[in-house]
Amino acid sequence: SLMAAGILGFLFFTVTGNDWLSQWLSYGSELSLRADGLEFRIEQWTDSLEMRVEQWIPETVRPFFD
């Protein structure tokens, strides 16, 4: 009976552990996708800001910034 309890405990923790692990992996994937989206928006914003700054620089001075 002690062996049966050990096997049942092992199976219980194995099954619930896999569910727990898959939930964490799913959560991690969602966070990764959100971070990628945030990174893309920040990149767009910095590109837009860079374009605006370039427009303020006079044509005669622009070659020095390349």
pLDDT tens by residue, 4-28: 888 887 777 766 666 777 777 888 8
pTM assigned to the model:
0.52
What proportion of the chain, given as a percentage, has pLDDT over 70?
86
How far apart, in whole angstroms, are the C-alpha atoms of residue 59 and residue 22? 56
* CA–centroid distance for 26 within its chain: 12
- List C-alpha distances in Å: 39 to 3, 27, 34, 36, 47: 53, 18, 9, 5, 12
